[in-house]
Structure 1
């Protein structure tokens, strides 16, 4: 890691307020052919698994553009299958983020190169770090709801320090309305 520090492993490629702000046209302009997304607080609220109308509209736009979405989550297969029952999305469970295993599995299943996929998530410690470990682009989104499951609260505590370090090192880093 010559010339880089550990903090760079948490730096997202892009920061967008919500996953729904990312259009298929923006993805295609960046050469992205598939989206991998975390589940809880990225696609759906962790405590309310029903997808919003906004999510369903966005998923249809991706589908119409021929861009597959695969959920890459550390949750169990049972939990993800239950949460996604109405959305009928493919997924990789027990992804072991921040390890790159789940992202690599999803990418290999689609037969895509690293530069053709993006990992979207709401956490630096799991999602952004996993994207870096897998060598793929990343999009950090703001959590859908302000509450978290108990295990995520632990990550959020440490993420406060990561955010401070990133802001200090990259003062230009902030949420933008679209991919630029």
Structure 2
């Protein structure tokens, strides 16, 4: 199913270089809000900063693909030294294609990391790359996202019913 997760992590910091190596993944496209930081925040939690450093040390290429606008994404991406694609319009795939072009890797070596099934997971499925879904970092305060979270529940239940584990 295009929306049921393939993998579900308790957070981005739970994704290890060893897991990526086992899957042949050398490049990650990262969502921002509730994946790397809170909604509308420019602050990077220390655990995520350490995780980004581990990924870089392991040779994993990193870039941001966010549905947010340039004014939101650019300062955040620059502050952590990452290339970015703003207004990526996930689940459409052209933002992922732009990120892959920057990486210079085949799709089989790339994955997306994000917290939403109807944007990040679906974009990965439509583009033919793994989606490493993470639990949201914080409670959602935007009504539209809270509504989507309710719609995600049956797909998360299906993941666990099929034997999926929280990694």
**Taking structure 1 as the reference length, what is the TM-score of the superposition?**
0.85
Q: Is the contact between residue 63 and residue 99 of structure 2 (CA under 8 Å) also seen in structure 1? A: yes
Alignment of 1:12-161 (within 5 A): 12-148=5-141, 150=142, 153-161=143-151
Q: Which residue of 1 aligns with 2:154?
A: 164
Aligned-partner SS, 1:41: coil
Distance 2:165 2:124 in 1: 18
1:168: Cα distance to partner?
4.4
Q: 1:138 to 1:169 in 2, by over 3 A?
A: closer
1:170: Cα distance to partner?
6.0
Aligned-partner SS, 1:85: helix
Gaps of 5+ in 2: none
Q: Is the contact between residue 140 and residue 146 of structure 2 (CA under 8 Å) also seen in structure 1? A: no
Q: Which structure has the larger Rg over C-alpha atoms?
A: 1
Gaps of 5+ in 1: 1-7
Residues 48-99 of structure 1, C-alpha deviations (whole Å, 9 max, x = no match) = 3211111111111111111111111011122111223321111111101110
Distance 2:150 2:164 in 1: 15
The count of aligned residue pairs is 167
